[in-house]
């Protein structure tokens, strides 16, 4: 049986990865099921403990609400609820693929999900379940990137896997979508990501990972098979580490 380089990981998925591209928002069931099938397969095949943090940008973004004149904290809470919708959609797709799954939320909503309890999450992972963390950190002003970093530290994960959705397959020294001379970086330090203002994750998440020596693997999650390749340590994407 092939083995992953990692024992326990957190996979960060943006809400936009679930978006129905035909209308620019909402949930594309085909994409969710494809990602769920891949997660289910690699968890069993590689015997890895896998947790997921999913964003809500395909439904609502707190910063967009603030731009429209809404109170930022209220807008962020709406965004947290959007992540719960995506988490439930992913849970349903995972269970259809035969993968036992639990959703844990940072905001208590006992009728539809468990409250986030680190030791319970770890126990689920040890039993072969996928745990989907929803509702962000439970606090406004923090992104789901920061949630992924925080949850990874809390459950003792070996790395954060940041799945991109825009067709960019890692970190570049410039935006490759607008600059044909952009150079892909196979590896880079947390400090250099912050110092060079590379838009990988928000600065709070990057700093937290640096302080806690958590590597980040940035890769294109929309290409089929890339989750497995990243977990196997294939040279795809970019590794952000403390070296």
* pLDDT, position 64: 67
Distance CA 205, CA 4 (A): 24
Give the residue among 221, 157, 195 at the shortest CA–CA distance from 13: 221
Q: State pLDDT tens for residues 71-103.
A: 999 999 999 999 999 999 999 999 999 999 999
Structure tokens at 91: 């849970």
β-pairing verdict for 216-220 and 159-164: parallel
* pLDDT, position 35: 96
Q: State pLDDT tens for residues 205-215.
A: 999 999 999 99
DSSP 15: G
* pLDDT, position 61: 73
Q: 8-241 is classed in which CATH architecture? A: 3-Layer(aba) Sandwich (3.40)
Distance CA 231, CA 218 (A): 11
**What is the reported pTM?**
0.93
Give the residue among 97, 104, 119 at the shortest CA–CA distance from 42: 97
Which residues are CB-neighbours of 174 under 8 A, at least 6 positions away? Answer: 181, 182, 183
Where the chain has pLDDT below 70, the residues are 1, 62-67, 243
DSSP annotation string for 88-112: HHHHHHHHHTT--EEEEESS--TTT
Distance CA 106, CA 84 (A): 10
């Amino acid at each position: 049986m092939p083995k992953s380089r990692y024992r326990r990981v957190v996979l960060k998925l943006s809400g936009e990865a679930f978006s129905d591209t035909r209308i620019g928002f909402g949930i594309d069931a085909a994409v969710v099921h494809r990602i769920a099938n891949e997660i289910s397969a690699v968890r069993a095949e590689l015997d890895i403990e896998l947790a997921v943090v999913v964003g809500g940008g395909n439904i609502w973004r707190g910063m967009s609400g603030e731009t429209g004149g809404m109170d930022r904290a209220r807008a962020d809470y709406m965004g947290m609820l959007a992540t719960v919708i995506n988490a439930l959609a992913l849970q349903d797709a995972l269970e259809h693929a035969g993968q036992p799954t639990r959703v844990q939320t940072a905001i208590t909503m006992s009728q539809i999900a468990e409250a986030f309890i680190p030791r319970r999450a770890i126990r689920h992972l040890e039993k072969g379940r996928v745990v989907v963390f929803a509702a962000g950190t439970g606090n406004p002003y923090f992104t789901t990137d920061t949630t992924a970093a925080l949850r990874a530290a809390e459950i003792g994960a070996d790395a954060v896997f940041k799945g991109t959705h825009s067709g960019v397959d890692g970190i570049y020294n410039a935006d490759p979508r607008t600059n044909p001379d952009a150079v892909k970086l196979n590896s880079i330090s947390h400090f250099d990501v912050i110092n060079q203002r590379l838009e990988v994750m928000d600065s709070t998440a990057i700093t937290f990972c640096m302080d806690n020596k958590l590597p980040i693997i940035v890769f294109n999650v929309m290409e089929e098979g890339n989750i497995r390749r990243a977990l196997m340590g294939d040279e795809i994407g970019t590794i952000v580490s403390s070296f």
